[in-house]
Amino acid sequence: MSRKAYISAGLLTVLLLLVVIGLMRLGGDNKPSEQNENVSVENKQYSKKQYEQAEKRNKSQENLDSKVQEYIEKTNAPKSQSEYDEAIKMRSSEQQKSLKRNVKDLVEDKDRSVENVSTYINYDSKDELSGSYDYTLSYKKDSKIQTENKNGEFTIKTNKDGYFYISQFD
């Protein structure tokens, strides 16, 4: 073979090798921009939109958790009558009527407090959530400070406008 044939075969081999390497780098994927939008978490691929939705859901869960804790604090150790009245607005309108009361005795007890409030919420469906709570209630009785550990369960439902309310609180 002549020298030109060897040079041509060598150039052709190098060219084919470059094409193969180029194809391998692309990974056979025709959408390289989509790859930049994905976030890798524990070897799973999530789109940017899924990541944003998860953050939004987490924030909503935290807000709901804090509202239930606020309800517990303001109904068991209110600082004023208006604070108690505001807290029971988290219940259904029928329940608000039965829960409405004068909390002067609770407000006057300056040692009354709610501490260590923990809530655990289970997302049963988009219309109903269930959960449990526990907290420590301190109050003055017969000139002595008493403490009680309280716990129970609650159910949260969605009203016709799409807002959550506490439907059951045991």
Contacts with 145 (C-beta within 8 Å, 6 or more apart), sequence order: 111, 138, 139
Q: Which residues of the chain have a pLDDT value below 70?
A: 1, 27-43
pLDDT at 146 (0 to 100): 92
Structural domains for the chain:
53-169 (3.10.450)
pLDDT of residue 132: 94
| Host H or E run for residue 60 | helix 48-76
Q: What burial class does residue 35 get, using C-beta atoms within 10 Å of its C-beta: 0-12 exposed, 13-18 middle, 19+ buried?
A: exposed
Residues found in the chain:
170
Residue 17: predicted pLDDT: 85
Q: What pLDDT score was predicted for residue 104? A: 92
pLDDT tens digits, one per residue of 128-153: 889 999 999 999 988 899 999 999 99
